[in-house]
Amino acid sequence: MTGGHQLRLYNSLGRRVEDFVPSADPSGMYSCGPTVYAYPHLGNMRAYVFADTVRRALRWKAVKVRHVVNITDVGHAVADTDTGEDKVEVAAARERRSVQEIAEFYTRAFFDDIQALNILPAAEYPRASAYVGQMIEFAATLEKKGCTYRLPSGLYFDTAKDPRYGELAQLHAEGQREAARLEQVPGRRRKTDFALWRAERPGRRRVMRWDSPWGWGAPGWHLECSVMSIALLGPHFDIHTGGVDHRELHHVNEIAQSEAYLGDGKPWVRFWLHNEFLQLGAAKMAKSAGGAPRLADLVNAGYHPMAFRLFLLGGHYRSQLDFTTEAMDAAQATLRRLVARIQPLRPLPAADTLDAATAAAGLAAGSSGQHDPAAARALDLMDAAIAADLSTPKILAALQDALRDPAITPDALRPLIAAADALLGLRLATLETADLEQRRSAAELAPEERHAIERLVAERTQARKERDWARADQIRAELDDLGVQVTDTPTGPVWQLRP
Ligand SMILES: [Zn+2]
């Protein structure tokens, strides 16, 4: 490998692929994190696997990173509105638990999932509720600068004062923003104006409330990301990531308020990176009542979390992916074949600190000084793929081709596998084929069997709702006879086949 390929990333700001050169050491990176009012679903997890791919690409290019992921435990209103109820408070009322219990429970669920998906930990996971004082100061500064106005419902950012408002979303006229702003807020001057502070409505005392110059209430959702990222990464930093839905509103508002606050005429963040959606509709899979499928549902259906990771990385992050049972089966089978091929080559060099230069050196050492052009070419392909806006499908293909290539010796394969795993994070050094055998899983049930089980589970839920405990117990016994185990969770019953 000669020098390596320049890392290039697709910047949503300007909608083009650009050379990425860090502006600081470490380079600052911020990812919009979860709102902890429900289990994260599989679509949510795509954003974190994507951010993890960015992390791995930077590590590969020997760029040190300071990564911050926020935990939204206050401020995020239902349907992303300015005046709606807080998502965490709604969940607390629904589950009859305190807001602290809700936030703690779902924060832990989030950490379980990112760990299961082998996502590199961030340097900081700030909780929004711990930064409300700084959010109030930030909003007060904006008010002093004349960028805001007061309404009975709170303090609003005046987007008319920002001539570049909406640049990220490429929206040049206010009228184009209809879709995002269906909410009617009395007195709001423009549809694009948004709440920095959400005042308590008279007679509607919030659970999470703070005193502020604009009365008792809670911060607006967009405010927290600006405040926490600036507090932890400094006024300007290199990368901000999130799902493509954030590009249209949340990130537009983060930029507007941050640039108004900083007032130095410089772009707040240099690179805005967004992953496309994961379409969840197509999969047939047992899942928690009412919710979208989550990682635990996949595991219950007999899939390994690394198979889901491989499924995600098999598509480019800027392409929509359809989540289907067939695609998951294929991903698990691909991973099982990879692991079966790799197992005899172990132990492998460590992947978790590997950068491109070290990988190239390892390849040279592994070939005992002999030139191994096929292996060098494979490594160059992987480097070119990650550098070209994170083309994970091409890295996977390069690895598979190398494993099939009789010209590449086992000594040269080992550093190649480690290189691919440093970029893909599939745990190729430790996974066992036995981990990837499909148990008799819910996914294999015939549709009639599945319907029969789901009907029984629904009847049992109804019986419990009516406090008909005898009937509920009787149905549980019937399910037990079918080999079905039901677990009651805060969001409803989850069932799985007994292993
Ligand atoms: Zn955010």
Give pLDDT tens digits for 450-476: 888 888 999 999 998 899 988 998 898
The Å distance, Cα 30 to ligand 1 centre, comes to 9
Q: HSE on the CB side for 372, CA within 13 Å?
A: 28
Q: Is residue 66 within 8 Å of 26, Cβ to Cβ?
A: yes
**DSSP secondary structure letters along 63-100:** --EEEEE-BB-SS-BGGG-SSS-BHHHHHHHHHTS-HH
**DSSP secondary structure letters along 145-161:** TT-EEEETTEEEE-GGG
Q: Is residue 33 within 8 Å of 70, Cβ to Cβ?
A: yes
The Å distance, Cα 246 to ligand 1 centre, comes to 8
When pLDDT is averaged across residues 120-142 and rounded to a whole number, the result is 97
Q: Please state, in angstroms and rounded to a whole number, the distance separating the CA atoms of residues 96 and 491.
A: 12
The Å distance, Cα 237 to ligand 1 centre, comes to 14
Residue 11: both structure tokens together? 């910047």
> What is the DSSP secondary structure assignment for residue 441, as one 8-state letter?
-
Poorest-pLDDT segment among 136-150, 178-192, 334-348: 178-192
The Å distance, Cα 143 to ligand 1 centre, comes to 21
**Mean pLDDT rounded to a whole number for the chain:** 90
Q: Residues of the chain with pLDDT > 70: what percent?
A: 92
Q: Please state, in angstroms and rounded to a whole number, the distance separating the CA atoms of residues 312 and 328.
A: 10
Count other Cβ atoms within 10 Å, centred on residue 435.
15
Look at residue 281 and tell me whether its pLDDT is greater than 80: no
Count other Cβ atoms within 10 Å, centred on residue 18.
15
Where does the pLDDT of residue 301 fall: very low under 50, low under 70, confident under 90, or very high at 90 and above?
confident
Length of the chain counted residue by residue: 499
Q: Please state, in angstroms and rounded to a whole number, the distance separating the CA atoms of residues 478 and 287.
A: 20
Look at residue 179 and tell me whether its pLDDT is greater than 50: no
The Å distance, Cα 484 to ligand 1 centre, comes to 40
* Confidence (pLDDT) at 204: 84
* Confidence (pLDDT) at 499: 62
When pLDDT is averaged across residues 188-215 and rounded to a whole number, the result is 91
* Confidence (pLDDT) at 288: 46
Look at residue 172 and tell me whether its pLDDT is greater than 80: no
Poorest-pLDDT segment among 108-122, 225-239, 472-486: 472-486
Q: Please state, in angstroms and rounded to a whole number, the distance separating the CA atoms of residues 284 and 270.
A: 41
When pLDDT is averaged across residues 173-202 and rounded to a whole number, the result is 76
The Å distance, Cα 447 to ligand 1 centre, comes to 40
The Å distance, Cα 75 to ligand 1 centre, comes to 11
> What is the DSSP secondary structure assignment for residue 245, as one 8-state letter?
G
Query: Could you tell me the end-to-end alpha-carbon distance of the chain, in angstroms, rounded to an integer?
Result: 48
The Å distance, Cα 250 to ligand 1 centre, comes to 6
350 against 398, higher pLDDT = 398
The Å distance, Cα 126 to ligand 1 centre, comes to 12
Where does the pLDDT of residue 170 fall: very low under 50, low under 70, confident under 90, or very high at 90 and above?
confident
- CA distance readout (Å), 485 to 99, 130, 302, 359, 456: 30, 40, 15, 47, 12
Look at residue 298 and tell me whether its pLDDT is greater than 80: yes
* Confidence (pLDDT) at 176: 47
> What is the sign, positive or negative, of the torsion defined by CA atoms of 74, 272, 82, 147?
positive
With H, G, I as helix, E, B as strand and everything else as coil, classify residue 475.
helix
> What is the DSSP secondary structure assignment for residue 17, as one 8-state letter?
E
The Å distance, Cα 436 to ligand 1 centre, comes to 35
282 against 164, higher pLDDT = 164
Look at residue 2 and tell me whether its pLDDT is greater than 50: no
Q: Is residue 159 within 8 Å of 256, Cβ to Cβ?
A: yes
Residues 6 or more apart from 4 whose CB is under 8 A from it?
61, 356, 357, 383, 387
The Å distance, Cα 424 to ligand 1 centre, comes to 25
Residue 475: both structure tokens together? 């149905």
Poorest-pLDDT segment among 72-86, 116-130, 240-254, 290-304: 72-86
When pLDDT is averaged across residues 366-374 and rounded to a whole number, the result is 70
Containing 338, the helix (H) or strand (E) segment is helix 325-342
Look at residue 477 and tell me whether its pLDDT is greater than 60: yes
Q: HSE on the CB side for 237, CA within 13 Å?
A: 26
The Å distance, Cα 425 to ligand 1 centre, comes to 25
* Confidence (pLDDT) at 7: 98
Where does the pLDDT of residue 396 fall: very low under 50, low under 70, confident under 90, or very high at 90 and above?
very high
When pLDDT is averaged across residues 19-24 and rounded to a whole number, the result is 98
Nearest to 428, CA basis, from 304, 318, 245: 304
Q: Please state, in angstroms and rounded to a whole number, the distance separating the CA atoms of residues 175 and 191.
A: 8
Q: Is residue 322 within 8 Å of 298, Cβ to Cβ?
A: no
Q: Is residue 22 within 8 Å of 7, Cβ to Cβ?
A: no
Q: Please state, in angstroms and rounded to a whole number, the distance separating the CA atoms of residues 152 and 358.
A: 60
Where does the pLDDT of residue 157 fall: very low under 50, low under 70, confident under 90, or very high at 90 and above?
very high
Q: Please state, in angstroms and rounded to a whole number, the distance separating the CA atoms of residues 333 and 406.
A: 23
The Å distance, Cα 455 to ligand 1 centre, comes to 40
The model's pTM:
0.85
Chain centroid, CA 337 distance in Å:
27
Strand partners, 198: 154, 218
* Confidence (pLDDT) at 285: 55
The Å distance, Cα 9 to ligand 1 centre, comes to 20
Q: Is residue 466 within 8 Å of 440, Cβ to Cβ?
A: no
Q: HSE on the CB side for 162, CA within 13 Å?
A: 32
By 3-state DSSP, what share of the chain in percent is helix, strand and coil, each rounded to 5?
45, 15, 40
Look at residue 116 and tell me whether its pLDDT is greater than 50: yes
pLDDT digits (tens, 9 = 90+) for 202-243: 888 888 899 999 999 999 989 999 999 999 999 999 999 999
* Confidence (pLDDT) at 57: 98
Q: Which amino acid is at 84?
A: G
> What is the DSSP secondary structure assignment for residue 213, as one 8-state letter?
T
Look at residue 173 and tell me whether its pLDDT is greater than 70: no
The Å distance, Cα 105 to ligand 1 centre, comes to 21
| Sole residue written with tokens 């008010």 | 143
The Å distance, Cα 341 to ligand 1 centre, comes to 41
Where does the pLDDT of residue 175 fall: very low under 50, low under 70, confident under 90, or very high at 90 and above?
very low
The Å distance, Cα 31 to ligand 1 centre, comes to 7
Question: Edge-to-edge, what's the strand order for the sheet holding 148-151?
Answer: 148-151, 154-157, 194-199, 217-219
Where does the pLDDT of residue 367 fall: very low under 50, low under 70, confident under 90, or very high at 90 and above?
low
Where does the pLDDT of residue 370 fall: very low under 50, low under 70, confident under 90, or very high at 90 and above?
low
Q: HSE on the CB side for 332, CA within 13 Å?
A: 19
The Å distance, Cα 268 to ligand 1 centre, comes to 14
Containing 221, the helix (H) or strand (E) segment is helix 221-233
Look at residue 177 and tell me whether its pLDDT is greater than 80: no
Where does the pLDDT of residue 113 fall: very low under 50, low under 70, confident under 90, or very high at 90 and above?
very high
* Confidence (pLDDT) at 1: 44
Poorest-pLDDT segment among 9-13, 38-42, 125-129: 38-42
When pLDDT is averaged across residues 392-404 and rounded to a whole number, the result is 97
